[in-house]
DNA sequence: CGTCTCCTTGACACAGATCAATTAACGTGG
DNA sequence: CCACGTTAATTGATCTGTGTCAAGGAGACG
């Protein structure tokens, strides 16, 4: 049976307040790729590709990086079918990568928060098979892959970082790919957002979501109504306070407890609904 | 067929068609990591890490590779919590990686067919967070990561392959992570198995599944009963013939049509096989 | 031949999708 | 500043795809 779920595309028209807020204390949004970013002083460096580079290689790396024009909400960074030639690092804001299948259903593949790398999945096919769209005003660094890859041959530390970034990506994907209930997935999502807020230097209980309910739903493989309802349920049980995209976590531990089973590191706590489905056989 | 026949037949029928052909004069399975595998003559090389290496680096690479003892069905290659120190390449047979959540519910993260690399997701955490278990009698090459990684610094081509393998892994994961119906997922699964059979030199319509219905269900996030029912439905509509683990695809194009929406290449019209039936519901 | 394990099939239940309607922001133009 | 339109978010009422429970069947193996 055809079986259409959420099919509309929402290109986050959102609070511009969110974007810059988190970490642009020094730098006002650059409108046209003017100044080179300075990895050396970038607050995100520990989480970015040049993490742990020595001063000299770092300088060379900086020279490869280009700063990209700021993206307005809804603007594309790249599109399905574009040739891959560059990775991107999110400096401010938030983007989503998504693909629309032949039936018109949109699948949000990932959200990309401050400090994260976009485009890793295109290295192999050498072509983007997803659209990357800014959810709020965002800016990204532009890391030409050929140059980076070439440079990595000389600088093992960079090579290590590259491989780690890839592996981490795989690692994080396994979390959402499992078979979990809507509550578990949403709780895990909120915790993830919270953690990333903290990484970017923001508070971890006051969340200003960059994405719509629909984007969240498409990402978590739910209906938007379900996301809404579960948020309401969380609110009623005192876990959080939700007002549109403004979310306040009142009881993070409670959310952790719900989401725990999705954390690959912490298998061994908490309960979930479906008692068993058997396992084992060795 | 590439895989040894059903589970516990006579001890050690590593399918001669594959196993024997490329890796040894002897037809008997290697029980203890005796002979070094010869990447140079391995039929899988184009799909493996040393793809495209020049003769000299290839020889050095071969010297790093160790052959592993054959794994019996149900035997573990590694377990959750094991320290990561090596990647593995499947030479014969088929393995699954899986993790058990707090409730004892098993999640199959991936199946690993002939020619595929296992362990990529453990590079970053430097620890395995999944069990790797042989589904049928299998053998794997043992690729010590530190040595490989070190060697890759000298041989760019190998580095490229490593990154490509990682990226490909990410790429393939996006396929099953989407929001698809049970039919779509199962159809896509069968097509994937078929494609991998072909890669390994087998036929693409006569499939001998290495995994149980339960493994398939856990992988696709379904109940085993659902897998059974949908196979029955496919059979009734003439798409295939299913007898336990012996599956014959009668109408691969029909399956393609059902699974199309999951093919990342088809999104946006890149390189698509056929236009789909439209998404009208009713 | 019995036992075991995997697979299949049926009956029923429920989480979550779908349909539908209302309310709340946020423009925009007058 | 206020009507108006548009889109996002909520809430309620149903429907349904799949999960769950239960009961055989069919190979495999000793």
Torsion of CA A200, A203, A209, A210, to 10 degrees: -30
Q: How much is the pLDDT for B170?
A: 82
- Are A91 and A114 in contact, with CB atoms under 8 Å apart? yes
Query: Nearest to residue A41, comparing CAs of A21, A20, A59?
Result: A59
pLDDT exceeds cutoff 60 at A59:
yes
Q: In chain B, what residues touch A4 (CB-CB under 8 Å)?
A: 279, 281
Residues 11-50 of chain B whose Cβ lies under 8 A from any Cβ of chain A: none
Average of pLDDT values for B118-140? Answer: 92
Q: Is the CB of residue A208 inside 7 Å of nucleic acid strand C?
A: no
Report DSSP letters for A250-270, one per residue: S-HHHHHHHHGGG-GGG-S--
Tokens of A279: 């396992």
Please give the domain boundaries of chain B with CATH numbers for all domains.
16-174 (2.60.120.10), 182-278 (1.10.10.10)
A19-28 — which CB contacts under 8 Å span 24+ positions?
A: A19/A92, A19/A93, A19/A94, A19/A136, A19/A137, A19/A138, A19/A210, A20/A92, A20/A93, A20/A137, A21/A202, A21/A208, A22/A92, A22/A114, A22/A197, A22/A200, A22/A201, A22/A202, A23/A92, A23/A114, A23/A200, A23/A201, A23/A202, A24/A92
CA angle B59, B62, B67 (to 5 degrees): 160
Average of pLDDT values for B225-254? Answer: 96
Q: How much is the pLDDT for B35?
A: 61
Confidence bin at A148 (pLDDT 50/70/90): very high
Nucleotide nearest to B7 (CA to C1'): D28
Report DSSP letters for B125-185, one per residue: TTB--SEEEESSSBEEEEEEHHHHHHHHHH-HHHHHHHHHHHHHHHHHHHHHHS---HHHH
B203 vs A208, more confident = A208
Query: Nearest to residue A186, comparing CAs of A225, A217, A159?
Result: A217
pLDDT exceeds cutoff 90 at B185:
yes
Could you report the per-residue pLDDT of A156-182, keeping only the tens digit for each?
889 888 888 888 888 778 778 888 999
Report DSSP letters for A5-57, one per residue: -----------HHHHHHTT-SSPPPPSSS-SPP-GGG-TTGGGSTTTT--HHH
Q: How much is the pLDDT for B20?
A: 31
pLDDT exceeds cutoff 60 at A11:
no
**End-to-end Cα, chain B, rounded Å:** 41
Q: Which backbone phi and psi does B189 adopt, to 5 degrees? A: -60, -45
Q: Which nucleotides along chain D are within 7 A of a protein C-beta?
A: 7-13, 16-22, 28-29
Matching residue, tokens 């184009």? B46
Average of pLDDT values for A16-36? Answer: 40
- Are A248 and A209 in contact, with CB atoms under 8 Å apart? no
Torsion of CA A240, A241, A243, A248, to 10 degrees: -70
Percent of chain A at pLDDT > 90 equals: 52
A139 vs B23, more confident = A139
Q: How much is the pLDDT for B64?
A: 92
**How far, in Å, CA of A243 to CA of A39, rounded?**
36
pLDDT exceeds cutoff 80 at B34:
no
Average of pLDDT values for B113-125? Answer: 90
Confidence bin at B219 (pLDDT 50/70/90): very high
Residue B237 DSSP class: T
- Are A234 and A248 in contact, with CB atoms under 8 Å apart? no
Residue B168 forms contact with A (CB below 8 Å): yes
CB-closest option in A109, A265, A275 to B174: A109
Confidence bin at B274 (pLDDT 50/70/90): very low
pLDDT exceeds cutoff 50 at B30:
no
Q: How much is the pLDDT for B242?
A: 95
Percent of chain B at pLDDT > 70 equals: 80
Q: Mean pLDDT check: name the lowest of A23-32, B82-91, B257-266.
A: A23-32
Query: Nearest to residue A100, comparing CAs of B17, B231, B264?
Result: B264
Q: How much is the pLDDT for A264?
A: 59
Q: A67 pairs with which residues across the strands?
A: A141
Q: How much is the pLDDT for B11?
A: 29
Which runs of E-coded beta strand occur in A36-158? 66-67, 76-78, 86-92, 95-100, 106-112, 117-118, 131-134, 139-144
Q: How much is the pLDDT for A36?
A: 66
Matching residue, tokens 């929406």? B261
Confidence bin at A83 (pLDDT 50/70/90): very high
Query: Nearest to residue A257, comparing CAs of A171, A173, A183?
Result: A183
Average of pLDDT values for A192-220? Answer: 91
pLDDT exceeds cutoff 50 at A129:
yes
B167 vs B98, more confident = B98
Report chain A's C-alpha Rg in angstroms. 19
Percent of chain B at pLDDT > 90 equals: 52
Protein residue nearest nucleotide C9, by CA to C1': B229
pLDDT exceeds cutoff 60 at A210:
yes
Q: Averaging pLDDT over each range in A211-215, B12-16, B152-156, which range is the top one?
A: A211-215
pLDDT exceeds cutoff 70 at A14:
no
Average of pLDDT values for A233-246? Answer: 95
Query: Nearest to residue A129, comparing CAs of A139, A119, A143?
Result: A119
Q: Which of residues 111-140 of A touch strand C (CB under 7 A)?
A: none
Confidence bin at A40 (pLDDT 50/70/90): confident
Kindly list the distances between the CA atom of residue A205 and the CA atoms of A190, A208, A250, B34, in Å, as whole numbers in the listed order: 10, 10, 7, 57
Tokens of B191: 């097509």
Q: Which backbone phi and psi does A54 adopt, to 5 degrees? A: -70, 160
Matching residue, tokens 């030639």? A85
Kindly report the nearest CA distance between residue A10 and chain B, in angstroms.
17
Q: How much is the pLDDT for B82?
A: 96
Q: Is the CB of residue A223 inside 7 Å of nucleic acid strand C?
A: yes
pLDDT exceeds cutoff 80 at B151:
yes
- Are A153 and A92 in contact, with CB atoms under 8 Å apart? no
Confidence bin at A69 (pLDDT 50/70/90): confident
Give chain A's mean pLDDT. Answer: 81
Q: How much is the pLDDT for A94?
A: 95
**End-to-end Cα, chain A, rounded Å:** 37
Give chain B's mean pLDDT. Answer: 80
Q: Which nucleotides along chain C are within 7 A of a protein C-beta?
A: 5-11, 15-20, 25-26
């Amino acid at each position: 049976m055809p079986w259409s779920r959420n099919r509309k595309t929402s290109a986050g028209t959102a609070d511009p307040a969110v974007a810059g807020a988190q970490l642009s204390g020094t730098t006002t949004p650059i409108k046209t790729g003017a100044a080179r970013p300075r990895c050396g002083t970038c607050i995100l460096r520990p989480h970015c590709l040049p993490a742990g580079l020595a001063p000299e290689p770092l300088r060379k790396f900086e020279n490869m990086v280009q700063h990209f024009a700021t993206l307005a909400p809804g603007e594309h960074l790249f599109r399905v079918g574009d040739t891959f030639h560059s990775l991107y690092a999110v400096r401010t804001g938030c983007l989503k990568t998504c693909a629309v299948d032949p039936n018109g259903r949109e699948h949000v593949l990932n959200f990309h928060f401050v400090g994260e790398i976009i485009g890793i999945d295109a290295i192999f096919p050498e072509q983007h098979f997803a659209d990357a769209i800014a959810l709020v005003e965002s800016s990204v660094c532009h890391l030409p892959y050929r140059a980076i890859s070439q440079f990595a041959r000389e600088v093992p530390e960079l090579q290590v970082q590259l491989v780690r970034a890839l592996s981490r990506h795989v690692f994080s994907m396994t979390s959402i790919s499992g078979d979990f209930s809507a509550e578990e997935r949403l709780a895990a999502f909120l915790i993830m957002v919270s953690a990333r807020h903290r990484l970017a230097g923001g508070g971890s209980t006051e969340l200003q979501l960059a994405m719509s309910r629909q984007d969240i739903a498409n990402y978590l493989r739910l209906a938007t109504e379900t996301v809404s309802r579960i948020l309401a349920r969380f609110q009623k049980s005192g876990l959080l306070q939700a007002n549109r995209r403004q979310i306040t976590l009142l009881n993070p531990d409670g959310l952790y407890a719900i989401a725990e089973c999705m954390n690959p590191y912490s298998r061994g706590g908490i309960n979930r609904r479906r008692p068993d489905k058997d396992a084992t056989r060795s």
